[in-house]
Structure 1
């Protein structure tokens, strides 16, 4: 098998012409053609039959190039000839790959293996989000290859503005440096930044001297008010769950404090009664999103008078129920949560009657009976969103979450999703997109879409296309969405770096949605300044590695390897001259004829 490295690092090392020449020499060599069945493959991020040589692969997985052929032809003796620069950017470490007894590996290394002085930014760690005017930490890993002590300049810039600069020193003994600093987010949106090390005058590769990164700046912190006139463990469980996210600020007040609801993104009414009248009126006047939670002193007559979307039968009795999670809930995404074994909570005995279409998050389970009565549901009323939880004692759910998983994440994430939904007045749309505001060029870029029909149920026959326009050169790109399970996806991997605006349109419906995203430049294949033979030497030994220009030596070794010698096999089979079955039949016939003749002649 001939396997050709089709990644862009081959061009980066100016070895593409030599590699192609050696490949053509091998496939046209008379001795190779006479003694071997030649199969050609190319590899970058994966192994594939060789149909063209482009040297455009964005990743190099040498491990698969070594291991996969052994699986494909495991019952045959084979030679695997690898034409590569030895630089791997993805996959397992190929120097630890196993080689079976029927395989012989012959790597040919292309490019200069000499180590030159080089400065490099190897990694940047930064939070993806930051609040406006807040500081955010940045951690930059830098390295130096060389023997002389040097001093260079490190900078971080936003456009033409320098945000940070300092001198850093390297030597053979101190060849790496970690730079930790804090930057300030000064404008809302995606803040694109660039870290740079001033290159040495003798550096061969300066592509790895800078690295782009970005931070999405958010201009809000969700403020949540819990209004309650009773003290209850539920309040502590609720507050801790909401406050587990630093993007939220939560406070507990009673109706006597006369809080100004306009200062909050949403309001939670816990165990409401007549004292909540002013707060309910103010919330309606301000179009505030609310979350009503029934408790020990809830006045159901008052509650029914203040809301029109549902009503609860008044009854002095309560039920002990357990929650059943509705896996078809669509208002916000749910992870694989399970609450069936959680402790029971107390709910009003009376039935709930809905006067609007709710989205039910949890149903009631009474003993072994799973009812269709809602325990936790959400609904929309004009331009506002609302949630209702008919449960007292849900603090036990947070405690159970810790007992099961040794943390509160299960419960806190659920409450957090509910608060996130209620903290925004954004209406539910039939076309929803799930995407990030920026991506790195070397990563897989997948955008998901949810398309619902007019009844807000998933529609699986949509024709959805995304049209992107590059803001720099106005290039127009159209990509279709593919149906995968209960969502549509489009793969934007391979797009050039830059800022894009896009429109997603449902062709068989009058729905569309627009947005913008950025693709930050980063080509991992450009980070190399020389070829690497260390991994191959570790895998096969020093004598098992070949270099460009050594094709004749390689051919000689291929022809002399006993494993690869042609094997002549012969099989011999023997057959009787006279089939014994027929012989037995003839003998029996003659004996019978003799008996008949003797009988006829009176000799018997």
Structure 2
């Protein structure tokens, strides 16, 4: 609403009179004794006089930099946010038809009524919080605390009048909103959906198993179920793989809240992604049978990578290494003394050699093999024998003495990264016992640790890496890893730092460089609400990235349905967003032709079902009651949803905000001013021309 408009200037107001005087004076001297207008009618002469006086006066006035000052009011209506739960738990009761039809009409009517007075924003929430055109109750996750976080971010510093929260009060992700929502003076009106009455239902709540196992192993599977109001009935747990029953057991339900907990071992009989269907049989008049079944997946590998630890003599470091390496299921460790070693390393991905002293022939065979080696030097290491191996590190001027040195992590180390807490632990843990001498490293070495003596960080390497083609070498120039392991456990009751250090070292050394010209990068496990993403790289004969040819992808599900895609090209590689897939196991084949060669990459991935919404079907209206009490609102039910509108209309604190705004614009920027000047000058010119002045 416009309140006032006026012209202002920073100069004294009396200068406006000077502008008028200047205009009149200029016109007076122009027309006073002009003989060309002696025969012109007086009114025409006066008209031209006025036009010229106005033009000059306006130009003089513009020199004062005048501004147009506008004052107006802006009315900001209160914002009413309707946040509607869009998850599937809303339909997990006998009133599911009502919620899909009549309830949605009631919410729409409420929105229309409020819109006549307020600015109404409608949002739906499940995995995400956003404006939804359609409410279909298909969401897989409820995060109520995220609703309030989103409201705080989206409507910060705005006039929110009230929040209408329509939900069953069940959340399965995030925190309890009663404790995390901020009391910012905005009332919350809750519409309590769902049913708080326990209903007859069998719920397969959780199936826990590892992500991978190895062929021939027995892997554990933990099954947790719950039977509500099923006393007197029977149910059967059945686990199948490729249609074959691998486990079954029947239960007599003897209480209204009957728990099922089973820990079983299942043998991995086939390589690849294996699908296990876990099912609890239904009982009469169950409210939902969708939560009786879960599909779970495990990747079965053909075998572990074998790591050989060679030692000259028993040492506590050997046990520490073995425990850390075997914390990763991908690795199997064999420990052997050097006097039993025959020099054959073909079966191993990596050899760790602890204490280099004697057995020169066997050590030379190891050094000349294609297998990567991790040398760990201790106080008894024969330095001359080590130097003859030409690993990339030499120890000069050694006199048989030893040093206690601390490790200092090189945070610019490029081959792999360590977690911040691992770096902090290593930098502050006990010293290692090293061979005294001058350490000389080749230029192609990468130092992970430098030696720290007292408070001085030296350039001498404590742990360093070299890479020559497929063969990789690591050297730890000190003993005492077992102390690091024990000290970490004493401090944290865990071995996370030492396990990460050793496993990342082993992983880097044991992985052979991928020389394939066509590489496909994709996860092997997705959730059903995740987009399946592929990245691809194609190399020419010079191992330069190329993305000229098209890459085709064929994805096949367990029912042999086919899905065909073409990759998109990036700057020098490929990318594909294949979208969201239904739960299940999928195989894929990617093909590309470069020149006269055809490249094929195959693999498989699994899409896991999200069943969080099915695990709890009893509405939590007490949570909603606590929430509205904290935020000075009210609790309503679908049967009296109209009461929400009445409560908001009667709340005098929900009111519009009036802002007074001022606007200053330079008069010279108004186009019509120049139009007026041009019009006056044109009219004067026309009259002068017509009367013989030009």
TM-score by length of 2: 0.67
Match of 2:612 in 1: 524
User: In the superposition, relative to structure 1, how do residues 313 and 111 fare at CA in structure 2: closer, same or farther (>3 Å)?
Assistant: closer
Match of 1:205 in 2: 288
CA distance in 1, matches of 2:618, 2:302: 45
Q: Flag the structure with more relative contact order, 1 or 2, with Cα contacts below 8 A and sequence separation at least 6.
A: 2
Match of 1:498 in 2: 584
Deviation at 1:554, TM superposition (A): 3.2
CA distance in 2, matches of 1:341, 1:275: 36
CA distance in 1, matches of 2:293, 2:104: 31
Structure 1: tracts of 5 or more residues without a match: 572-604
Q: Which structure would you say has the larger Rg?
A: 2
Match of 1:36 in 2: 118
Indicate yes or no: 2:415 matched with 1:331. Answer: yes
Match of 1:124 in 2: 207
Match of 1:16 in 2: 100
CA distance in 2, matches of 1:22, 1:135: 55
Indicate yes or no: 2:70 matched with 1:4. Answer: no
Q: 1:474 aligns with which of 538, 541, 562?
A: 562
Match of 2:47 in 1: none
Deviation at 1:401, TM superposition (A): 3.6
Indicate yes or no: 2:525 matched with 1:438. Answer: yes
Matched-pair contact (CA < 8 Å) for 1:207–1:527: no
Indicate yes or no: 2:470 matched with 1:383. Answer: yes
Deviation at 1:9, TM superposition (A): 4.6
Q: 1:551 aligns with which of 635, 641, 656?
A: 641
Deviations 1:556-594 (A, max 9, x none): 333334544x589999xxxxxxxxxxxxxxxxxxxxxxx
Deviation at 1:522, TM superposition (A): 3.1
User: In the superposition, relative to structure 1, how do residues 468 and 377 fare at CA in structure 2: closer, same or farther (>3 Å)?
Assistant: farther
Structure 2: tracts of 5 or more residues without a match: 1-80, 661-694
Deviation at 1:253, TM superposition (A): 0.7
Match of 2:353 in 1: 269
Deviations 1:258-304 (A, max 9, x none): 5754554432223324523134326635x322222233343444334
Indicate yes or no: 2:406 matched with 1:322. Answer: yes
Match of 1:192 in 2: 275
Indicate yes or no: 2:164 matched with 1:84. Answer: no
Deviation at 1:181, TM superposition (A): 1.5
Deviation at 1:384, TM superposition (A): 2.8
CA distance in 1, matches of 2:644, 2:494: 59
Deviations 1:509-533 (A, max 9, x none): x999764311123343455667664
Indicate yes or no: 2:110 matched with 1:26. Answer: yes
Secondary structure of the corresponding residue to residue 116 of structure 1:
coil
CA distance in 2, matches of 1:345, 1:465: 54
User: In the superposition, relative to structure 1, how do residues 493 and 362 fare at CA in structure 2: closer, same or farther (>3 Å)?
Assistant: farther
Match of 2:449 in 1: 362
CA distance in 2, matches of 1:101, 1:410: 43
CA distance in 2, matches of 1:166, 1:210: 15
CA distance in 2, matches of 1:470, 1:493: 14
- Count, aligned residues: 551
Match of 1:601 in 2: none
CA distance in 2, matches of 1:418, 1:129: 22
Deviation at 1:205, TM superposition (A): 1.6
Secondary structure of the corresponding residue to residue 340 of structure 1:
helix
CA distance in 2, matches of 1:138, 1:538: 39
CA distance in 1, matches of 2:362, 2:520: 39
User: In the superposition, relative to structure 1, how do residues 47 and 241 fare at CA in structure 2: closer, same or farther (>3 Å)?
Assistant: closer
Secondary structure of the corresponding residue to residue 291 of structure 2:
helix
CA distance in 2, matches of 1:231, 1:60: 55
Q: How big is the alpha-carbon RMSD for the aligned residues of Structure 1 and Structure 2?
A: 4.5
CA distance in 2, matches of 1:50, 1:221: 48
Matched-pair contact (CA < 8 Å) for 2:204–2:615: no
